[in-house]
Structure 1
């Protein structure tokens, strides 16, 4: 009841209102960033397509094409956790590619993934890094979710227009090739000479 604003320290255990994180790409960490934690978010029809959950990790597939990851880690497990590590992979036609990872503070409980590709399978894994436990035991505490972003309505229209436009282009190319082939055969010197010979032989 002192009236002072509540303070928060990155060293405190449990969820925090501000999440400190660092994006890691190619093994190199970027600058330290901060985001506000969305406490109590639930997937609703108005802004969320579906939610995929495995273990303590939940992936909320949002309508705007982004994915909100949420996880729970309370009690003794949270007290032993120093930080979290998000790993990301997506599947190409023949190869699996690794996307940028994220290193998050111990107070983080969610993270927003944006600029994801549609119609491509993703695999996101969350690993808690312990304060003093061996790496092997920390490696075992990993939850992974897999999802594929559905195409947006506008993309469906673009795909349809591209398909129709491509078919028209192919037809035009075929017509041009046929015209060129017919023109070349009719106007070739051999054909003209034979036609002229047959014409004169009738007289």
Structure 2
């Protein structure tokens, strides 16, 4: 019966308009309804994702970027994906209607607009897959309330090429080895100069005649 009920809810939610997505409040609090809005302002059908509440950014494969007020985080992972996390003010949760996320990235010559996303009340994270490397992204989030809209909270980040972190670590290790070798060579040259090029020969005393 539970699976049947979920299927009915999914079928019903597919017809929900963009302005009514905030009404999709799932009882378990772990499902995030969202709708992707393309550059042509075309609203696609509603999608659902499970919240990654237990996600922890591993420093070996992930780097954290924060907004100015630290309420919006961008967890940039080594697999060219970014998990965005946010927390609305606790005192305004009663009037909460949802969230609106805007995305853009700065290429070589111009600024490109990503797809925008309209998210429901339950949403506290969103996965941005297949991001471009070596370009600057800017993600802005607005919290929607029944009678107002909050100011944008923005975070900026750059996705490093795959394997770049390993290359940097390897170059650092090689650079450290070269420095050690140079120190050893300098000490060896100093030793040779001191002991071989300028030896301290002892002169025998002159013999006195009879």
Structure 2, unaligned stretches of length 5 or more? Answer: 7-22, 168-210
1:51 is matched with 64
CA contact (8 A) 2:101 2:118 kept: yes
Q: Superposed, which structure 2 residues align to 1:84-103 within 5 Å? A: 84-103=99-118
Q: Which residue of 1 aligns with 2:153?
A: 143
Instruction: For 1:141 and 1:114, locate their aligned partners in 2 and report how far apart those are by CA, in whole Å.
Output: 26
Equivalent residues, number: 144
Task: Provide the residue aligned with 1:37 in structure 2.
Answer: 51
RMSD: 2.7
Q: Which of residues 128, 135, 159 in structure 2 aligns to 1:113?
A: 128
Alignment partner of 1:28: what SS?
Answer: coil
1:79 to partner: Cα distance: 2.0
Cα distance in 2, alignment partners of residues 16 and 86 from structure 1? 20
Instruction: Quote the offset at 1:78 in angstroms.
Output: 2.2
Matched, 1:21 2:31: no
Please name the residue that 2:193 is paired with. none
Deviation at 1:73, TM superposition (A): 1.6
Query: In the aligned structure 2, how far is the partner of 1:36 from the partner of 1:68?
Result: 13
Q: Comparing both structures, which one devotes a greater share of its residues to strand?
A: 1
Pairing partner for 2:146 from 131, 134, 141: 131
Counterpart-to-counterpart distance in 2, 1:91 and 1:45: 25
Q: CA deviation at 1:131?
A: 1.1
Q: Structure 1 residues 132, 57: CA separation in 2 closer, same or farther (over 3 Å shift)?
A: same
Q: CA deviation at 1:52?
A: 0.6
**What is the DSSP-based 3-state SS (H/G/I as helix, E as strand, rest coil) of the residue aligned with 1:45?**
coil
**Matches of 2:61 and 2:123 in 1, distance apart?**
22
Deviation at 1:74, TM superposition (A): 4.3
Structure 1 residues 47 and 93, CA gap change in structure 2 (3 angstroms):
closer
Query: How far apart are the structure 2 equivalents of 1:142 and 1:67?
Result: 19
Deviation at 1:77? Answer: 2.0
